[in-house]
Structure 1
Amino acid sequence: MNTPEGRTAPRPMRLADGRPAAAAWSLDPAIAHLNHGSFGAVPLPAQERQNLLRAEMERAPVVWFPQLPERIAAARVEIAAFLQVEPGELALVPNASAGISAVYAALRRRRGGEIVVTDHGYGAVTMGAQRLARRWGGRVRTAHVPLDADAQRAYEAVAAELTDATDLVVVDQITSATARRLPVERIGAEARRRGIPLLVDGAHAPGLIAAPLADLPCDFWVGNLHKWACAPRGTAALVARGPLRDELYPLIDSWGATEPYPDRFDHQGTVDATSYLAAPEALAFVERTWGWERARRYMAELADYAERVIGAAVAEHTGERGPVDVGMPVPGMRLVRLPSGLADSREAADRLRDRVAAELGVEAAFTSFGGTAYLRLSAHVYNTAAEYEQFARACVPVLAEWARAAAQPVEKVS
């Protein structure tokens, strides 16, 4: 199929035996899975590896847990190689928010207790920053970055909020709600010049960006491995550099508390850490099947195609322009503006997500920014152009009808 501009759809990815890429996942074929970016999807080889590890754990728990820290340390070496960082910089945590919480718990007020965030920040991370600011007796300053801001404008918006009272800067590498990059490298250079710690929320970066920490001057970085990297859920990386990393401790104190960073994070009592140990198998599966470079290229091409097809359908059924200029686009992720009136808040976007799943059989991500509703596209290797074409044909007209119904005035009962 060709797009309205005449561009051909990318050919689907296949396994070595010719089967569709989706055959390597256990996703329900009756559902269209168009939202890899929220919770990810674990390929069967990684699921099988984790199941074997759990069976091993249950066969001999007293043997398993004493040797677990050493095995986690070995997994860290493989994950560090994938992210192209030093193993001694990387600790494993359950998710990006857990890593950020560990950073918040460790930092002390050094100046005026102010924390700078952006209006694109992940809600839970921003709420944690607000709680930390209250504990410090400070406040949170929010940099307002226009959705279409390029790197220069986005940098200027954040830099304008930095003052002599700033104790921490928290910036997304890839934003969740708006699917765009922020110039974390430039922001990091300015923060370092001013002596301000920088925490980068790279939740979406592993797997989507080849080397997310290259040329990135930051004190702390977190990234989820269960998203684009397809690791079992409950696996994320916390990377810390510089003297502040020695202040980091896991949220659960265990017998490794006296060990240096990151070794003390390998000791977490009876926590089921099989997701950590199975994560390298997920990374290796994509590499040996297609290669990560080819996989990323396909995801980028497919997201571009999906944006054009669905955006054209939105325009056809509503007269409104679908594609969105996000200033610094991300490979594999795109935004499409939804018909007006569908979701003017995060809560309304979540309700729309649940309704689309229940009534249309589609797992999709819906977000809201500045009172405008968006469909956030996030493609992976198991997705195909046909799925997005079907969404454009079957779902966009329904969304347009729902928007028209929502815009109808409610008659008062006398």
Structure 2
Amino acid sequence: MTSTNTSAPATRAVSPRALTLPDGMPAAAAWTLSPHALHINHGSFGAVPRVAQEHQNALRAEMDADPVAWFSFLPERIGVVRRELAAFVGASPERSAIVPNASAGASVVYSSLPMSQGAEIVVTDHGYGAVTMGAERMARRRGGRVRTAHVPLGATPQQAHDAVMDACTDKTRLIVIDHITSATARFMPVAAISASARERGIVTLVDGAHVPGLYADPLDGIDCDFWVGNLHKFACAPRGTAVLVANSGLRDELYPLIDSWGSPLAFPERFDTQGTLDLTSYLATPTATGFIADTWGWGGARDYMGALADYAENIVATAFSEQTGQDHRVDVGASTNALRLVRLPDGLARTHPEADALRNRVVSEFNVEAAFTSFGGVGYFRLSTHVYNTAADFEEFVERMVPTLCDWARDAVRSAPDL
């Protein structure tokens, strides 16, 4: 239901001081992002610091200069980095493998996990589309079905937990749950759900795509069977780098999606050998995470991202309210650090295809790289922040895009067919 409440008091917006490099230059100078575009969507595809790009390019040159030596010793180098990346997310290196992204990690579980005929998989209506599609394909192969738990956007952690567990039956063998949801930018109570699932003998797969970099020790207190998180989002790694953590004995069932000469090895070493794939993104990842650690400290970076998200959410929601007379703030039940939702005016991004079309129109016509999502027939602007962003970025969005989006919404409502 669309909220029209205008009486709730707005929180005073406080603009955080922009981060700088040791030489006094703006933090954005450490990235190669185009100065001609407004980058306020780090959460979708990330952004790689210049120093990590240079390291990856040097690694590629090394690979191309001496490919026999490169690929002969690559598994050993991957193993060293795997240990570093496991430490970054607070996992045991013996239980961690590197995979290209969260969807690939989920696909590893779907392709490797033994499942009986007719078994059911429970997902939520907040789930990432590609991961949910993989669950549906797995269920079809086993002659089973996917059951979707409806979790209201503003559900408390307890309500979200109950909705997921209530969707389980005696045929449920797997729960797939987001740690932070992509479309709705909220936490799910993965620790409580994993604990309840274990009591009932149900396997849990946690999609933590957005978590690494945003939170320290993201696995602390979570007794799930599988967890996968992208390092090329908020941890700023070169794209195509994620960690798959397998905490239960089921890890011995996991194999890479591509069979290679490492297949006879135990988990996770079998994932260190991937033939002739370009794995330079894996090797350059510690350079990216180390750059942020050395420049601002991850604690300082997270504090800044959260403070900037507070400010951005406030000014964008207020700007929309001034145009529409409605409340555009969103209660997501359990909010996150650098990802926030602001409700769009009625008529925009009511479906996933409409949200993607809006994103493409905004970037094409205004060179503004922003994220728009849809949930329950309502469209949202999903803002995300990183250390290179400043308050001025979101002030520019307010000035340039809010009036235009309101105009487009009015046009959409006027042109909608009467039902």
Q: TM-score range by the shorter chain?
A: over 0.9
Cα deviation, residue 320, structure 1: 2.1
Q: Which residue of 2 aligns with 1:99?
A: 105
Q: Corresponding residue for 1:187?
A: 193
Which residue, 17, 26, 42 being the options, matches 2:48? 42
Matches within 5 A, 1:227-242: 227-242=233-248
Query: Within 5 A, what are the aligned runs for 1:399-414?
Result: 399-409=405-415
Match of 2:300 among 294, 305, 308: 294
Q: What letter is aligned with 2:18?
A: P
Instruction: Please give the per-residue CA displacement for 1:320-377, whole angstroms capped at 9, x wherever unaligned.
Output: 2111000000011100000110111111100100111111221000000001000001
Contact persistence 1:286–1:292 (CA under 8 A): yes
Structure 1 residue corresponding to 2:265, chosen from 255, 259, 265: 259
> Unaligned 5+ residue runs, structure 1?
none
**Aligned AA for 2:25?**
R
The question of 1:156 aligning with 2:185 is answered: no
TM-score, normalised with respect to structure 2? 0.96
Letter in 2 for 1:47: Q
- Cα distance change of structure 1 residues 253 and 362 upon mapping to structure 2, 3 Å threshold: same
Hey, what's the Cα distance between the residues in 1 that align with 2:249 and 2:12?
54
Q: Following the alignment from structure 1 to structure 2, what is the Cα–Cα distance between the partners of residues 321 and 394?
A: 20
**Aligned partner letter, 1:248:** L
Which of 81, 94, 113 is the matching residue for 2:87? 81
Shift of 1:6: 3.7
In 1, are the aligned partners of 2:116 and 2:142 still within 8 Å (CA)?
no
**Map of 1:166 onto structure 2:** 172
CA distance, structure 1, for counterparts of residue 276 and residue 400 of structure 2: 47
Report the secondary structure of 1:335's partner residue. strand
What's the counterpart of residue 140 of structure 1? Answer: 146
Instruction: Tell me the SS of whatever aligns to 1:344.
Output: coil
Determine helix, strand or coil for the equivalent of 1:373.
strand
Letter in structure 2 aligned against 1:161: A
Paired AA for residue 60 in structure 1: D
Runs of 4+ in structure 1 deviating by more than 4 angstroms, as ranges, are none
Q: How does 1:57-76 map to 2 (within 5 A)?
A: 57-76=63-82
Instruction: Tell me which amino acid in the other structure corresponds to 1:270.
Output: T
> What's the CA shift for 1:241?
1.3
Query: How do 1:387-402 residues align onto structure 2 when only pairs under 5 Å count?
Result: 387-402=393-408
Out of 373, 377, 391, the residue aligned to residue 383 of structure 2 is: 377
Q: Residues 4 and 244 (structure 1 numbering): CA distance in 2 closer, same or farther, change over 3 Å?
A: closer
Tell whether the 8 Å contact from 2:117 to 2:142 is kept in structure 1 after alignment.
no
Letter in 1 for 2:404: V
Aligned-partner Cα distance in 2 for 1:131–1:6: 47
Counterpart Cα distance in 1 of 2:65 and 2:77: 17
Instruction: Give the partner amino acid of 1:178.
Output: T
> After superposition, what is the alpha-carbon deviation per residue over 1:93-114, rounded to whole angstroms, capped at 9, x for unaligned?
1111011000000112247400
Code of the residue aligned with 1:147 in structure 2: it is L
Correspondence for 2:4 = none
Structure 1 distance, partners of 2:13, 2:396, is: 17
1:284 aligns with 2:290: yes
Q: Please say if residues 112 and 164 of structure 1, whose CA atoms lie closer than 8 Å, have aligned partners that are also in contact.
A: no
Report what 1:200 is aligned to.
206
Distance (whole Å) between structure 1 residues aligned to residue 241 and residue 278 of structure 2: 11
Asked whether the equivalents of residues 111 and 166 of structure 1 are also in contact (C-alpha less than 8 Å), the reply is: no
Q: Does 1:332 align with 2:324?
A: no
8 Å CA contact 2:161–2:189 kept in 1: the answer is: yes
Give the number of equivalent residue pairs: 410
| Pairing partner for 1:366 from 365, 372, 396 | 372
Q: Does 1:129 align with 2:114?
A: no
Deviations 1:116-150 (A, max 9, x none): 00000000111111111111111111110000001
User: Are the equivalent residues in 1 in contact too, given 2:309–2:338 (CA < 8 A)?
Assistant: yes
Task: Report the Cα distance in structure 2 between the residues aligned to 1:322 and 1:42, rounded to whole angstroms.
Answer: 32
Structure 2 unaligned runs (5+)?
1-8
Within the alignment, does 1:22 sit opposite 2:20 as a pair?
no
What CA deviation, in whole Å up to 9, does each residue of 1:242-270 have, x standing for no partner? 11000000000000100000000011100
CA distance in 1 between partners of 2:115 and 2:69 (Å): 43
Residue 399 of structure 1 aligns to a residue whose secondary structure is: helix
Q: Distance in 2 between matches of 1:273 and 1:224?
A: 15
Structure 1: distance between partners of 2:185 and 2:86: 25
The residue matched to 2:374 in structure 1 has which SS? strand
Query: Does the CA-based 8 Å contact 1:111-1:165 persist in structure 2?
Result: no
Alignment check: 8 A CA contact 1:40 1:227 kept: yes
Q: Name the CA distance, whole Å, in 2 between partners of 1:277 and 1:224.
A: 15
SS in 1 for 2:328: coil
- Code of the residue aligned with 1:116 in structure 2: it is V
Letter in 2 for 1:166: T
Contact 1:111 1:167 in 2 (8 A): no
Give me the TM-score of the superposition, normalised by structure 1: 0.97
| Aligned partner letter, 1:241 | N
Distance 2:58 2:163 in 1: 49
Amino acid at match of 1:269: G
